[in-house]
Amino acid sequence: DQCIYEWRGANPSFILNFEKNYGAKVFTISDNFRSCAQQILPANAVIAHNKRRYPKFLSLTRGFGGSTQILAQKDEWEIAKHIAGEIADRIAAGQSTREMAVLIRLYSQTAHLEAAFMEKNIPYEIVGAPEFYKRDELLPLFQYLSFAFAEAEIAESGFPEDPKQIKKYHEMFANIVNKPRRYISRDIVDGAQRMSRQTRRSVIDVLKHQKEVLPKRVQQQVDDFCETIRLLLLRLKRPAHKTLGWLVEQIEYESHLIRISGQMEIGQSRVQTVKALIEFAKMKNLRCGEFLAHLREITIQPIPNPGNLPPVKMLTIYKSKGLEWQTVFVPGSSEGTAPFVVSEDKSDEVAKIAHVEAERRLFYVAMTRAKANLFLYYSAEKNISPFLDEAKTPSLLTQIDKLAKEVAAAPDFRRESEQIEFIERLGQLRLDRFFTRWSNALHPLRNHWHSDFQRWQTHIRDAEAAEAAYREALTQYQSDHEKVERQVRKFEKNIRESGILIHKFKSAYYPVKIGQTIQFEVMDDGGVIAVSGSGMVGMVDFDEMPRFDRAAVIWERSAVIIGRILSDTQVEARFSTLAFDNTHLQSKVSGWRKPSPPKDALRRFLNPNFRRGLITIFGK
């Protein structure tokens, strides 16, 4: 259930096949000594949807002293603010920052978190990655903007005098000219920088004037770069998120990140980081220059920490395995993040299932890191994680909270229905091991409900007998029903192939019309009379219907339509429909009605959860 490093060669089959491959004996360790019911039971419900696993169920040992909250917020920024606010409140209440952690699926999720922590002056540490605004995939975008501002400054005020400023300008050019790869050689880049210093012109101006001496293929790449800078200059006064969004599309930056990443998931994670930057810029609603200044300020200025608090750790779920904290925040409990969807071949159903199961194991690891408090967040802009949805986690948490209150209050239920509901809840949550091995909270009930237990045992025996009788009767009913259906199908076949010939009674003076519906009655001598809404029509002439299987027809409840009038005394009827009532027909064929199941009040005693709950309380 915790095989989460498949991207570096791990595979669940190594453990699943270990017993078979090595003749090993399996010892299942199911007791969990870390978490409370509010974490363990939802985690069990989530991982149970994986097919490729041992059917293990984590057992509770620590009771109901924790809490799990599933919280929907407007967007990622609101989620980040809520987490920062909750942590600030806990710090004020005396909880150590060492006992809190934020678990992320992707490093791109830290953008809003870092900003929210800065606003609350909460020290933080991103484990395994630099701070958001210092990441390699974002620096080229910042340098594009900074280089464009430098170009604008040169166009307005001339080439700079400060050697440090010139060096920084040329370094930015060298850093972005081949991002993405344009295959502009180092010699061309060095030559443009050298000519720029000598002639005191911008490198863009130098490239444009020297373009003709370059190879044709390189000329096109140089043109593309210069045109990108020209268009970028026109967008510097626009909101940063719009300019950044345009730039990413213009240089096909997302494709570039995926191409250079080696692994699809790493590339997609970097793409998500870029998207998070654009979303953060949109939230700030600053122009390009103001946005760059804001980034410089937050990357240089340290977070005030007068209490010298240890930083709150932000780390990926991968890095959290084997660790534990009193309070854990999981901001990515949304569809699209849990599971994280990698854009690969969607036609490979086996690979898709394996990927979803791997993501479910990862989410399971996140849920089982908390010792007491677990916060699962999802954005209202997205759906809740399907892992939580399929496990019916909100409803499950409600049941856990109800049971926790009932157990703590030493319940003295007044109605049997309340007792049964409590017992069913015990069985549903599978707490038999906890209450028999780790807690004596139900011992008072065991003594108090002794007489009730005897009565319930009687109810169970009565319910079992009633259910067995019902199943037997239902089996017979279904057998008879199948016989009737076979007769009906044969009747339909007979009528399609030969129709029904009716000799009209001379006493039937009313006209018989094509399309008229008739039904049938069986006489004591076995003859069959055709009857319309106006009265009797005539006798079915079986002598003229040699291929018709007379015994297969259920005449009493059948109806046909007149298809042809052969003469004044003969009509031919073609099959229309079977207008019979099932209950009446079954009664006529087999002599009994469809059996009714035992009443719900009795069947409730057959509920597996009720039986498991009884065993939890009484141990038998």
Residue 331 belongs to a domain with what CATH number? 3.40.50.300
Same domain for 152 and 87 = no
* CA angle (201, 204, 205) in 5-degree steps: 50
Instruction: Give the SS3 label for residue 513.
Output: coil
Residues 147, 193 within the same domain: yes
Question: Is 534 or 189 the better-scoring residue by pLDDT?
Answer: 189
Q: Which residues, 6 or more positions from 414, have their beta carbon under 8 angstroms from its beta carbon?
A: none
Residue 285 pLDDT level (bands cut at 50, 70, 90)? very high
Query: At 184, which CATH number?
Result: 1.10.486.10
Shared domain for 281 and 334, answered yes or no, is no
Pairing relationship of beta strands 100-104 and 312-316 according to DSSP bridges: parallel
**Domain contains 211:** yes
Is residue 367 within 8 Å of 46, Cβ to Cβ? yes
Is 313's pLDDT higher than 80?
yes
80 and 216 inside one domain:
no
> Does the pLDDT of residue 492 top 80, yes or no?
no
**Distance (Å, whole) CA 60 – CA 41:** 8
What are the tens digits of pLDDT across the range 366-422? 999 999 999 999 998 889 999 999 999 999 999 999 999 888 876 677 688 888 999
Q: Which among 596, 602, 601 is positioned nearest to 462, based on CA atoms?
A: 602
Task: Provide the pLDDT for residue 245.
Answer: 97
Instruction: Label residues 596-616 b or e (16+ Cβ within 10 Å = b).
Output: eebeeebebbebebbbbbbbb
29 and 101: one domain?
yes
Q: Which residue has the higher pLDDT, 137 or 547?
A: 137
Q: Which residues contact 90 (CB under 8 A, 6 or more apart)?
A: 100, 327
- What digits encode the pLDDT tens for the residues 249-277? 999 999 999 999 888 888 988 999 999 99
Tokens of 117: 């922590």
Give the residue from 347, 371, 396 where a domain finishes.
396
- Residues 257, 207 share a domain: yes
Residue 579: the pLDDT is: 32
- Average of per-residue pLDDT across 326-335: 96
Same domain, yes or no: 158 and 264: yes
Residue 5 has pLDDT above 60, yes or no: no
Whether residue 402 is contained in a domain is answered as: no
Q: What are 209-249's pLDDT values in tens digits? A: 887 778 888 888 999 999 999 999 999 999 999 999 999 99
Mention every residue, 6+ apart, whose C-beta is less than 8 A from residue 397: 38, 42, 68, 70
Q: What is the mean pLDDT of residues 181-195?
A: 92
Q: Which residue has the tokens 């091995």?
A: 437
pLDDT beyond 90 at 491: no
Looking at the fold, whether 337 and 283 belong to one and the same domain comes out as: no
Q: Which of 286-300, 315-329, 569-583 has the lowest mean pLDDT?
A: 569-583
Q: Is residue 484 part of a domain?
A: yes
CA 121 to chain centre: 35
Q: Is residue 267 part of a domain?
A: yes
Domain annotation covers residue 404: no
**Closest of 207, 175, 183 to residue 194, by C-alpha:** 207
* Amino acid found at 103: L
Kindly state the average pLDDT of the residues 298-323.
89
In a domain, 569, yes or no: yes
Closest CA to 155 of 250, 241, 229: 229
Percentage above 70 pLDDT, the chain: 88
Tokens 């009532």 belong to residue: 581
498-515 burial: b if 16+ Cβ within 10 Å, else e: ebbbbbbeeebeeebeee
**Three-state secondary-structure class, residue 196:** helix
Average confidence (pLDDT) over 465-474: 93
376 φ, ψ (degrees, to nearest 5): -110, 120
Domain tally for the chain? 3
Q: Are residues 86 and 207 in the same domain?
A: no
Q: What is the pLDDT of residues 103-150, one digit of tens each?
A: 999 999 999 999 999 999 999 999 999 999 999 999 999 999 999 999
Same-domain check for residues 87 and 56: yes
Residue 179 domain-assigned (yes or no): yes
Domain boundary among 234, 268, 297: 297
Q: 150: closest CA among 289, 249, 281?
A: 289
Last residue of a domain, one of 339, 367, 396: 396
The tokens of 615 are what?
A: 């065993």
539 phi, psi to nearest 5 deg? -105, 140
Mean pLDDT for the chain?
A: 86
Q: Using alpha carbons, select from 66, 39, 61 the residue that is nearest to residue 439.
A: 61
Q: Does 265 fall in a domain?
A: yes
The verdict on 84 and 188 lying in the same domain is no
Determine the structural domain holding residue 344 and report its residue range: 6-123+303-396
Confidence label for 567 from pLDDT (cuts 50, 70 and 90): confident
Q: Does residue 259 sit in the same domain as residue 341?
A: no
Amino acid at 477: Y
- Say if residue 23's pLDDT is above 90: no
Task: Beginning with the edge strand found earlier in the chain, give each strand of the sheet holding 124-126 in spatial order.
Answer: 67-73, 370-379, 325-330, 100-104, 312-316, 124-126
